[in-house]
Amino acid sequence: MVKTNSLLGKPRPKLTFIDLFSGVGGFSLGFKEAGFEHLFGLDNWNHACDVYRKNIGECKEMNIKEFDGKKYKGKVDVLIGSPPCQDFSHANYQARNSKKGMVLVNEFMRVVKEIEPKIWIWENVKNVEKHINKITQRVHIFNSNDYGVFQHRKRCFVSNIILKPEKEHKEFLTKEQMKRVLHFNFVWHKQHFYKPIYTITANFRKGNSNPYVIENKQLRCFTISELKMIMSFPFTFNLCNKPESVCYTLLGNAVPPLLSYRIAEQLKKSLEGEKVE
């Protein structure tokens, strides 16, 4: 049913959004599924842009520093984005540099000032929390598993409003049920398939900090299809036959669409009711 303006009886226009540092489009996918109108994404990595265009829509392939948001002023309801997290991540021991990382966060905030959206949200690793001025911004730590994602993945979301997405605790298979249907199990830290696994990283084949699978008495990494499931991407999400290493990076860097969808649902209710805290 199409929602209408109660006074005029006309269809209410869809709420619009733009995604900066859009990557493969996990953040965008959740907003599209929630009924938001996608305007475009922006990223400077050609592989990410290719996949984004195939699954989401228009994507500007450019450096954020070259983007001028002034012409979109007043035309965007929500601005979302995921500035690169490498300089904040605990996993990146060689490149921890919060000042460098904040340069791109500041670029996001520059575009916020130019566009003046009703709501803005940027996302990064949990560790970024200590670099944020909590007086001027709302800071939230969400675990994707609390919203139906098959993964313990804590991330920091910073916004101009309070975010309260509805939680969705899913019941996964029990250990006994799992034994009946599968002949492999996760071995890292004695993790099993009936429990949500640890965070999927962008460099999935590197190091030993990621979960592996025993299959036919041999260890193997997750397949791309399995990674999509763990990240809550649909199996039909087209990765454009990109190299496997590229797919790991695209998926590992993404916002799980199911978590994004829960956030978008809350924002839609806030915007349609014009009750923004």
Enumerate the active-site residues: 85
Which pair of structure tokens corresponds to residue 66?
Answer: 């070259």
CA distance 147 to 21: 23
Length of the chain: 277
Q: Is 25 helix (H, G, I), strand (E, B) or coil?
A: coil
Q: Using only C-alpha atoms, what is the Rg of the chain?
A: 19
The DSSP-derived string for 55-69 is HT--EEES-GGG---
Angle at alpha carbon of residue 55, lines to 267 and 146, rounded to 5° = 45
Kindly state the tokens that stand for 9. 């009886």
DSSP helix/strand/coil, 217: coil
59 has which bridge partners?
A: 41
